Chain A
Amino acid sequence: MAEPGRRSGMRGDPDVAVITGVGLALPAGVRSPVDLIGPEDGPAGPAKSPANGSENGGGAVDAPERAERVDPAARIGRKGLRYKDRATQLALVAGSDALCDAGLLPGGGRDAALCDAGSPANGGRDAALRDAGPPANGGPDAPRPEGGAAGRSSPGKLTVPPAKVAVVVSSNYGNLDSIAATVRTIAHEGGTRLISPMTGPCLSSNVIASEVAIRFGPRGPNLMVCNGPNSGLDALRWAVSLLGSGRADQVLVLGAEPDNEVVRSLVGSGDILDGAVGLVVERAGTAFDRGVPARARLGRYVRGGNPADCVRALAAAEPAPTGWYVPEGLAVPPDLLTGVARYDLARRWGGASGASGVLSAAAAVGRFATGAGGPVYAVTGGVDACAGLALWPGDG
């Protein structure tokens, strides 16, 4: 089917949002979007089946995928990971790869030298004590980072102006382990004796987004989206909004969720993702100017009360899809988009929650890279609402 508005070079709309980089911090050593391509389900819809292997176009990969967890130190070096929670570490890995993939960081994502460049200027985390009041050894003279921007390490680490690079992170469960451990320890001890001040930053829900900024230097808008099952697609929606309003020229979008005891207990399942997915989103014109290919184009975003309403809203604005990513954990009517291939990433990766929508977009990039046509729809949803996004091949 002909794809309306297909562009190459700058014959198309320079303001349309495109994906120019992908980074994956996923189990089983999956690093490339092409490796995300999975099996198609039948019309009956997704079902959680035991690990019995699944065919896919990318080569045989055994489920469960959780067997080989991401080792962040092996991916981006140990420096700068200490005291950071699991979700933040995963996000740093995916963020590094996505930024490098988009040409926004010099060198390869696995470069140890890059890791040094990404560490905060002040090094130690003792500075975390400072904002709580004058330290015991005196207020105004207490050691602190070199004033403001003068103290930044490697101010040029981004290859584009940092003030126009935004970060949007989606995570629902990211720092729950830190919070839960803290209150339980205090109750057990009858006091705060065993609480380390270093855990302070982990208790703020936006720790992932702020740590990504501290490591890589983007100083534009910094958003922490904690919006339930739709959070990942919402992160993409707000990235597009930041581009359209001129607040940013590039946006690093990340979805990250950890697998730990607290999350398993809250979710009621051990079949959950321990991983992160990163995408760089920018206007097609900016990508063209930078000489980087568009890997996918973002189409219409919609909200609705249920998957059928979202599909209907997408189909009102976009052609029928060649395939669609079904919402995890939500019943989908069997007659919805009959005959259209369904992709259920949760079968392979487990429940991805805030990372789900971002993972779907990365998988779409993988499909487009193999020559698949568009659009594809990605739909997420929960008891609050559903969200839908159309994606098209880029001009790469």
Chain B
Amino acid sequence: MSPGPARFPIVGVGAVASVGSSAQEIYERLCAGVSGLAPMRAFNQDWYATSQLYEIDDRGAGGDLPGRATRFLCDALREALADAGLGERLDGIPVLIGSGLRETRSVELWWRDQAEFAADDLHFGTELRRRFGALDTLTLSNACCASLYTLAMATDLLAAGEAETVVVAGTDSIGEAMFAVADRVQSIPPDAVRPFDTKRRGTLQGEGAAAVVLRREARPGDRVHGWVRGVGVNCDAFHPTAPDPTSIAAAIRDAHARGGVVPADIGLMMLHGTGTYANDKAEAEAIRAVFGEDSSVPLMTALKSTLGHTAGAAGLHGLVTALYGMRDGRIPPTPTLDDPIDEAAGFRIVRGGAAPEAAAEPVRFAQVNAFGFGGVNAVAIVEAENG
């Protein structure tokens, strides 16, 4: 048992998104700079100025369907459970799911189009009992950082000895009300998500799910993808949409303290990078406040440039990609970043078109950032699996 702060092995991963239907496939596509941006499929183009989203293409010509966030979740869970060598019976294993919108897209379709929907399906526990026999599930609606918040709660359960295995997931499908308000206020629709670019014009929604299986201790036969060292969470208590760099910096410091790392240890940072004016500026300021001169040490990348803003799933999308990146030494690029903002001067954001960047030396620690509407912040520190 290695000395130092507690760390929890990740023994299974799964993911779905616009660019792929498995964690490995998504990683390969991201390394190739493939983007899920496409003309939007489910919303009426006559009603909106925005015309592109990062959707999963799972609907035929018949319009939208309810229950997609739940389906994405089940797909990612099945992959993660199989990867972990667990069967599909989850009684006794807590499942903590972070989601920004849960099944409120289904509520939209029910209210407006008389789609079939029941109150019991608003939260994911109903389907998880049906499908996996799960009895201890949590649907946590913590906006764009929800899946890292659930990761934090999972580490607390494991540290307290209240569980030996916890499944953590995040899922979201694109909601029309949220999309409509963004469309309403963006005078020019963004042509893509351009994190940290001087010409960024706002974010565009994506969708998908990700899941990881955490243990308190690795068991013989477990394939360890990496280790969760710690997750810092807090809340700005400041403004419904504008982020607070001071509070974000505090969350980063909390994560470092829990993870037993200092800024110079971080070799890879998965940026939240929504491509909004406020987030990217605040995130860059917060990083510089904490890292100082070490701001230019880690490689950085922003997956929303290719996946869109996957909201509740975004934190774990970043974490799973970081695990693969540390394993392979290839970091997916941020292909839509042409002209970095001044606040990011010196940041090693992976660009260069579609080519992934090979890390000059092995990355031992990665930091994953996720900041949500309402000022909720979560930062995770993960450690690479050696050998």
Q: Which residues of A contact B (CB under 8 A)?
A: 120-122, 125, 127-136, 139-140, 144-145, 147-149, 151-152, 162-163, 167, 172, 175-176, 178-180, 182-184, 186-187, 190-192, 195, 197, 199-201, 203-207, 209-211, 213-214, 216-228, 230-231, 234, 238, 241-242, 244-245, 247, 262, 265-267, 303-305, 382-385
Contact of B48 among A152, A192, A210 (CB under 8 A): A192
A226 to B104, CA, bound (A): 11
Min Cβ gap A238→B in Å is 7
Q: Is the CB of A245 within 8 A of B201?
A: no
A359 to B183, CA, bound (A): 39
Query: Which residues does chain B contribute within 8 Å of A130, judged by CB atoms?
Result: 241-242, 277-278
Min CB distance A71 to B, Å, is 24
* A226 B247 Cβ-Cβ under 8 A: no
Q: A221-B235, A384-B137 are in contact. Are A214 and B375 (CB under 8 A)?
A: yes
Query: Can you identify 29 A-B contacts, CB atoms within 8 angstroms?
Result: A128-B241, A132-B276, A133-B187, A133-B276, A151-B238, A152-B237, A172-B119, A172-B122, A179-B175, A195-B180, A199-B181, A205-B141, A206-B141, A206-B142, A207-B374, A213-B235, A214-B240, A214-B375, A222-B375, A224-B143, A225-B139, A225-B141, A227-B123, A227-B138, A230-B125, A241-B156, A241-B157, A266-B119, A382-B120
B202 adjacent to chain A (CB < 8 Å):
yes
Complex CA distance for A226 and B103, rounded to whole angstroms: 11
**Residues in B neighbouring A136, C-beta threshold 8 A:** 187
Known A127-B240, A228-B126; further 9 A-B contacts with Cβ < 8 A: A131-B202, A132-B181, A192-B47, A197-B181, A203-B175, A213-B236, A219-B247, A303-B135, A385-B137
Which of these, B111, B120, B160, B242, contacts A127 with CB under 8 Å? B242
Q: Pick from B111, B141, B237, B239: contact of A217, CB below 8 A.
A: B237
Interface residues of B in 177-219 (CB under 8 A from A): 177-178, 180-188, 190, 200-202
B298 within 8 A of A: no
List, in ascending order, chain B residues with CB within 8 A of A206's CB. 100, 141-143, 372-374, 376
- Check if A145 sits within 8 Å of B239, measured CB to CB: yes
Task: Report the contact-size class of chain B (Cβ under 8 Å from the partner).
Answer: 35 or more
State whether A222 touches B247 (Cβ < 8 A): no
Contact with A along B301-329 (1 / 0, CB 8 A): 00000000000000000000000000000
The answer on a CB contact under 8 Å between B160 and A244 is yes
Known contacts A132-B182, A133-B190, A224 near B277 by CB under 8 Å? no
A163 CB to closest chain B CB, in angstroms?
7
CA distance A292 to B181 in the complex (A): 45
A230: chain B residues within 8 A (beta carbon): 125
Q: Inside 8 A of B185's CB, which chain A residues have their CB?
A: 128-129, 132-133, 197, 200
Question: What number of residue pairs across chains A and B have CB atoms under 8 A from each other?
Answer: 286
| Residues of chain A lying within 8 A (CB to CB) of residue B372 | 204, 206
Closest B residue by C-beta to A210: B374
Quote the shortest CB–CB distance from A354 to chain B (angstroms). 10
Q: State the CA gap A173–B108 with chains docked (Å).
A: 13
CB distance from A156 to the nearest CB of B (A): 13
Contact partners of B137 in chain A: CB under 8 A: 227, 384-385
CB distance from A231 to the nearest CB of B (A): 8
The residue of chain A having its C-beta at the shortest distance from the C-beta of B96 within the complex is A238
Assess whether A163 is in contact with B276, with CB atoms less than 8 Å apart.
Answer: no
B240 touches A145 (CB 8 A): no
Docked Cα-Cα span, A296 to B60, in Å, equals 55
The answer, yes or no, to whether B68 is at the interface (CB within 8 Å) is: no
Chain A CB within 8 A of B176 CB = yes
Q: In the complex the two chains form, what is the Cα distance from A200 to B203 in whole Å?
A: 14
Chain B residues 76-116 with CB under 8 Å of chain A are 91, 99-102, 104, 107-108, 110-112
Q: Which 7 A-B pairs have the closest CB atoms?
A: A210-B374, A205-B141, A384-B125, A133-B202, A222-B235, A201-B240, A148-B246
Find chain B residues with CB under 8 A from A228 CB.
120, 122-123, 125-126, 139
- In this assembly, does B233 line the interface, its C-beta being within 8 Å of a C-beta of chain A? yes
Whether B180 lies near A304 (C-beta < 8 A) is no
Q: A245 vs B20: C-alpha distance in the bound complex, in angstroms?
A: 36
